[in-house]
């Protein structure tokens, strides 16, 4: 189990002094404080970008989920002391865990209710999938890097998040489980993948960063009307690692 750097340091000092380590409740309280600070930082970013994203606050249930999921469990142990900072962090394999503000915003933009079927393209550390699962969604997550997919699947299972995962090229979605109420893509594509649009239910939405690795990317909301016609809206400039695969 990963614990933050400050807690590890405290335990080491207690050991040297021959004292009993702090009770687990102290550790839990410290992490709880860190998560509350992270949530406050997200709320501040929402207010700063309210004109662009079209809202001054995110869904309270989304913010509650952000305050519940233990982000320190989804980053490398050497970076656990930074887990609740409002910024992306490297997770190996050239990938990152997204900034908490962006995770919260993308989750909020999906605007789905408990029980909805959601496809995530880019499992990464598993953090975004855990947030979605905490909201009571049926989560199907694809990762193209086998080792990263295995680590994330094991972590999600250990933490008891009911997420179905697979190793595949996310550009092509998960046809066997389509259609989906919502799709979330956690890597930047040069264009909106047609297979993902096709796997989106009428009335559904997809959130995806669009743009090249050396250009301005735009977080884009793709919405299908009840007749199945898709429209797009740019929400916010972002910076994501590129979507990889055959396309």
**Residue 125 DSSP SS3:** coil
Which DSSP symbol is given to 147? Answer: H
Cα-to-chain-centroid distance, residue 79: 17
Which long-range contacts (C-beta less than 8 Å, at least 24 apart) are formed by 3-6? 3/27, 3/72, 3/80, 4/30, 4/31, 4/34, 4/72, 4/80, 4/81, 4/83, 5/80, 5/81, 6/30, 6/81
Which DSSP symbol is given to 170? Answer: G
Nearest-angstrom CA–CA distance, 68 and 56 = 22
Neighbours of 27 (CB within 10 A): 17
Neighbours of 93 (CB within 10 A): 14
Nearest-angstrom CA–CA distance, 97 and 83 = 10
Respond yes or no: is residue 190 known to be catalytic: no
Q: Which of 98, 113, 141, 190 is catalytic?
A: 98
Q: Which residues are catalytic?
A: 98
């Amino acid at each position: 189990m990963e614990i933050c750097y400050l807690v590890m340091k405290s335990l080491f000092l207690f050991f040297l002094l021959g004292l009993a380590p702090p009770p687990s409740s102290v550790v839990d309280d410290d992490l709880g404080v860190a998560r509350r600070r992270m949530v406050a930082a997200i709320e501040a970013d929402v207010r700063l970008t309210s004109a662009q994203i079209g809202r001054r606050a995110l869904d309270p249930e989304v913010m509650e989920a952000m305050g519940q999921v233990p982000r320190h469990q989804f980053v490398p142990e050497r970076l656990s002391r930074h887990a609740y900072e409002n910024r992306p962090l490297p997770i190996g394999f050239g990938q990152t865990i997204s900034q908490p503000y962006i995770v919260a915003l993308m989750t909020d933009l999906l605007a789905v209710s408990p029980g909805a079927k959601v496809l995530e393209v880019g499992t990464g550390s598993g953090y975004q999938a855990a947030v979605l699962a905490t909201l009571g969604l049926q989560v199907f997550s694809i990762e193209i890097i086998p080792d990263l997919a295995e680590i994330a699947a094991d972590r999600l299972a250990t933490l008891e998040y009911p997420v179905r995962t697979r190793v595949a090229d996310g550009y092509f979605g998960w046809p066997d489980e389509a259609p989906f109420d919502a799709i979330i893509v956690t890597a930047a594509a040069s264009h909106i993948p047609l297979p993902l649009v096709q796997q989106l239910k009428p009335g559904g939405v997809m959130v995806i960063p669009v743009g090249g690795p050396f250009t301005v990317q735009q977080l884009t909301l793709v919405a299908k009307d009840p007749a199945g016609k898709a429209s797009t809206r740019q929400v916010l400039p972002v910076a994501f690692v590129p979507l990889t695969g055959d396309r």
